[in-house]
Amino acid sequence: MSIENTLMVRGDSKCELCGSNDQLSVYDVPPVDKSHEDKAVLTCLKCKTELAEGSELDVNHWRCVNDAMWSQVTAVQVVAYRVLHQLVAKGETWAQDLLDMMYMEEDVKAWADLGLPEEEDPDAIVHRDSNGDVIVAGDTVHLIKDLVVKGGNFTAKRGTAVRNIGTTNNPLHIEGRVNGQRIVILTEFVKKSKHSEE
């Protein structure tokens, strides 16, 4: 019997995550060396599409994990766990409540954790521009207001591009070269250039 047929029987010909029967197919739960029924879930088109890396989750659709998280199928538990973590990252408090209730064997949790993005170091210094976008050393930013440069005898004009910025130990300060001088700039007065993201 093929993996798909096995999952069709196991899932009663329904998506094992949301219960839909729309365009069912096998979703191999990463990381995958070789497809196997124990490491796969029968999913509908919507679930499979949204599980693709980098996809935006439809929060209302994923309320289905409220049921899926209690599945006896290990692979379904793993997917539910990972989806709940993504929803928590989006600020969904109900997802955190479900995660707090969820129980998994240690080996299953270890597998589930493999699919989560690495946690950022809580002590890491993060610099953000006036819009809250993260800026890092090497980025280009633009000034959003005229800044009088103390000791420099000039005013850095609004709209000035500051290329190849440097970061400091203070999350509110960056360094950059304006009019040939290296100056410290408050992050609240800059906006990340879109070209920095390319």
* 119 found inside a domain: no
Angstrom distance (rounded) from CA 174 to CA 178:
12
Q: What is the pLDDT of residues 69-120, one digit of tens each?
A: 999 999 999 999 999 999 998 889 999 999 999 989 999 999 999 877 665 4
pTM, two decimal places: 0.59
3-state secondary structure of 108: helix
pLDDT band at 161 (very low <50, low <70, confident <90, very high): very high
Structural domain containing residue 185: 127-197
* 65 found inside a domain: yes
Angstrom distance (rounded) from CA 159 to CA 146:
8
10 Å Cβ neighbour count for 162? Answer: 20
Statement to judge: residues 157 and 98 lie in one domain: no
Q: What is the pLDDT of residue 53?
A: 66
* 72 found inside a domain: yes
Q: CA-CA-CA-CA torsion for 85, 66, 101, 103, nearest 10 degrees? A: -80
Statement to judge: residues 54 and 15 lie in one domain: yes
Statement to judge: residues 8 and 61 lie in one domain: yes
Statement to judge: residues 20 and 78 lie in one domain: yes
Statement to judge: residues 135 and 175 lie in one domain: yes
Q: What is the pLDDT of residues 166-185, one digit of tens each?
A: 998 899 999 999 988 999 99
- Whether the predicted pLDDT of 196 surpasses 70: no
* Domain total of the chain: 2
